[in-house]
Structure 1
Amino acid sequence: MKIVCLDAKTLGDDADLSLFKQFGTFEAFDTTALHERIEHIGDAKIVLSNKVLIDKEVMDACPNLGLICITATGMNNVDLAYANHKGIVVKNVAGYSSASVAQTTFMLVLNLLGKAAYYDAYVQSGAWVNSSIFTHLQEPFCEIKKKRWGIIGLGNIGKEVAKIATAFGAEVVYYSTSGANKDTAYQQISLRDMLQTCDIVTIHAPLNEKTQYLIAKEQLLLMKKGAILVNVGRGGIVHEADVANILDEKELFVGLDVLEKEPMQANHPLLHVKHKERLILTPHIAWASVEARRELIRLVGENIKDFLRQ
């Protein structure tokens, strides 16, 4: 039996994919362009894909295909309806990265709140050597304790963030994008109230018709002066051009791990923000701690075992 991974590079150069060899002949491609999909899959029975599009064209051209393992939670890179029509099983992986995403959320918040980039640059420049006093407090920073922390999307990751924020001493409130979440551990408030009253707002929601551009110019203008906004959910929830414009007009601090189009496009407006100290950008890494990726690979292996038992 042949097993193919179409975009192994998305799992990291340090990822150990050897466990898939137990199921048959395993071949991994670093990347797969659209015109290479059919050639790379060939007569494989099982295909692993993180972001490579597997659509009707591919399924029809690869008749031996029986299982598509998505090495992620989101499934929008596979034509699920046509896979079902063809009798092809599609399995994703969920819940493997909650700790990693929560940790990245705090990495972004703490860097913005604590002015870490400024103070590191100050010391690295050699300026501290010439200081007349033992410290340097040019950029005042605050504590999380007693701050109001708003969470958009109180799912598994949102709850993990809420738990840690509470341990820091924050007052946690949340906004349910679906309207279905009625968690009694935390106060549910409207998005408007959250933006007007919270010192920190973090996004952990999926992208859908209710969340696309949920945070745009109107919402950013509502936020408190000095507030922090972090998106580790999905690109497209935050209107990036509006963020770029407002950061040079209003004292807000923003951390984005996800963008609407990835990788980042050339001449993206966020690359031209003048107040760069108000912005941290990371290249969609929140999901990808070493431990999370190991767990992801293990769970993909379990999905293959389940398929083979049927």
Structure 2
Amino acid sequence: MKIVFLDVKTVGNDVDLSIFEVFGDFIAYPTTKASEVFDRIYDADIVITNKVVIDKKVIDYAKNLKLICVAATGTNNVDILYAKEKGIAVTNVAGYSTESVVQHTFAMLFYLLEHLKYYDDYVKSGLYAKSEIFTHLGKPFWEIKGKRWGIIGLGTIGRRVAEIAKSFGCDVIYTSTSGVKRKEKYPEYPLDELLRTSDIVSIHAPLNDKTKNLITYEKLKLMKSSAILLNLGRGGIVNEKDLAKALDENLIAAAGLDVLEKEPMDPYNPLLEIKNKDKLFITPHIAWTSIEARERLINEIAENIKAFLNGEIRNRVDLFS
């Protein structure tokens, strides 16, 4: 078997990929441009891709292709319907990054809420060494105990965030973006009411027709001026131009984003031009990337390949059955 990993750089250079060598000839490319895909998958039996697009043309060109392993949960970069027509299995990996994303959610919150950059800069500038008193109260912050945490998208990650927020003493509520009614531990609120009443709003929803542009300027106007917005779902859920305007007008206290509509970030993104940059914290889509999460991802891909070679399919993506 020939196994090709098209964009191994996306999972880091500190994970052990030798696990794939037991299955056959394994080739790992750091990145793969659209123009390079055809030559690299031409005689591959198994292709592993994180973000490289595997569309109809690519599938037709790959004469030996039997299995596409998506190194992620989302599979929008693969033409699943056409793969099925051609008898090619598609697998993904779900749940590997839950704890990592949840941890990053709270890291972003506390960074913004407690003004950690400001206080770190204050000490390192030498000003604290010149202080007349033992403390400094330049940027007040509040406790999350007793505050309302609103969650948009109560899936696996949202539920785990809710559980930890509850342990801090938060009043947790949620709104469903799918419209599916489930019995949950937490009260469900309409989106507008959640935005009006929450002190912290975190987004853990997928991007689809129901969530695209969900948070606009009009929605941001509903929020408390002391509220913090966190998006760890998908870029495109929050309108970035509207968020920049809202932050400049002090409609909300702060926002933390790990996802953007375009990744890598557009150099002309309006979020780069906001006046008070301390109100905004952006990380480059790293919430999922703890060492443990990436190790789980690689191990799960290997298990998917092993099962396939044994005549079984784990984590099959088959949206059209």
TM-score tier, shorter chain, comes to over 0.9
Give 3-state SS (helix, strand or coil) of 2:221's partner.
Answer: helix
Higher mean alpha-carbon deviation, 174-183 vs 255-264, is at 174-183
Alignment partner, residue 191 of structure 2: 191
Aligned mates of 1:309, 1:136 — CA distance in 2 = 63
Q: Contact 1:47–1:67 at 8 Å: present in 2 too?
A: yes
Gap runs ≥5 in structure 1: none
Q: How does 1:75-86 map to 2 (within 5 A)?
A: 75-86=75-86
Letter in 2 for 1:124: K
Alignment partner, residue 267 of structure 2: 266
Give 3-state SS (helix, strand or coil) of 1:222's partner.
Answer: coil
Q: Contact 1:154–1:181 at 8 Å: present in 2 too?
A: no
Alignment partner, residue 304 of structure 2: 303
- Following superposition, the deviation at residue 178 of structure 1 comes to 1.1
Q: Give deviations 1:16-74, integer Å, cap 9, x for gaps.
A: 11100010010000000000001111211000000000011111111101000000000
Alignment partner, residue 41 of structure 1: 41
Q: In structure 2, do the counterparts of structure 1 residues 183 and 125 end up closer, same or farther at CA, with 3 Å as the change threshold?
A: farther
Letter in 1 for 2:113: L
Aligned mates of 1:296, 1:242 — CA distance in 2 = 35
Q: Give deviations 1:207-250, integer Å, cap 9, x for gaps.
A: 01000011010100100011000000011000011111111101
Aligned mates of 1:183, 1:172 — CA distance in 2 = 15
Aligned mates of 1:184, 1:22 — CA distance in 2 = 44
1:203 aligns with 2:203: yes
Q: Contact 1:231–1:258 at 8 Å: present in 2 too?
A: yes
Aligned mates of 1:23, 1:226 — CA distance in 2 = 54
Aligned mates of 1:279, 1:124 — CA distance in 2 = 21
Q: Contact 1:215–1:237 at 8 Å: present in 2 too?
A: yes
Letter in 1 for 2:264: P
- Following superposition, the deviation at residue 267 of structure 1 comes to 1.7
More contact order relative to length (CA 8 Å, sep ≥ 6): 2
Aligned mates of 2:161, 2:125 — CA distance in 1 = 34
Aligned mates of 2:21, 2:184 — CA distance in 1 = 46
Q: State the number of aligned residues.
A: 310
| Matched-pair identity in % | 57
Letter in 2 for 1:247: L
Q: How does 1:208-287 map to 2 (within 5 A)?
A: 208-250=208-250, 251-287=252-288
Aligned mates of 1:198, 1:151 — CA distance in 2 = 9
Give 3-state SS (helix, strand or coil) of 1:174's partner.
Answer: strand
1:12 aligns with 2:12: yes
- Following superposition, the deviation at residue 306 of structure 1 comes to 1.2
Alignment partner, residue 105 of structure 2: 105
Letter in 1 for 2:123: V
Q: In structure 2, do the counterparts of structure 1 residues 81 and 180 end up closer, same or farther at CA, with 3 Å as the change threshold?
A: same
| TM-score, scaled to structure 1 | 0.99
- Following superposition, the deviation at residue 196 of structure 1 comes to 0.4
Alignment partner, residue 314 of structure 2: none
Aligned mates of 1:267, 1:209 — CA distance in 2 = 25
Q: Give deviations 1:106-140, integer Å, cap 9, x for gaps.
A: 00111111111110111111110111100000100
Letter in 2 for 1:145: K
- Following superposition, the deviation at residue 102 of structure 1 comes to 0.4
Q: Contact 1:182–1:188 at 8 Å: present in 2 too?
A: no
Letter in 2 for 1:135: T
Alignment partner, residue 138 of structure 1: 138
Gap runs ≥5 in structure 2: 312-321
1:70 aligns with 2:70: yes
Q: Which runs of 4+ in 1 moved over 2 A?
A: 181-184
Alignment partner, residue 319 of structure 2: none
Give 3-state SS (helix, strand or coil) of 2:293's partner.
Answer: helix
- Following superposition, the deviation at residue 159 of structure 1 comes to 0.5
Alignment partner, residue 32 of structure 1: 32
Q: Give deviations 1:143-162, integer Å, cap 9, x for gaps.
A: 11001000001110000000
Give 3-state SS (helix, strand or coil) of 2:196's partner.
Answer: helix
Letter in 2 for 1:116: L
- Following superposition, the deviation at residue 296 of structure 1 comes to 0.5
Aligned mates of 2:181, 2:137 — CA distance in 1 = 42
Aligned mates of 2:177, 2:309 — CA distance in 1 = 38
1:96 aligns with 2:68: no
Q: Give deviations 1:254-280, integer Å, cap 9, x for gaps.
A: 000000110001121111111111100
Alignment partner, residue 123 of structure 1: 123
Q: Give deviations 1:166-222, integer Å, cap 9, x for gaps.
A: 000100000001121423310100100010000000000010100001101010010
Give 3-state SS (helix, strand or coil) of 2:27's partner.
Answer: strand
Q: Give deviations 1:73-94, integer Å, cap 9, x for gaps.
A: 0000000111001111000000
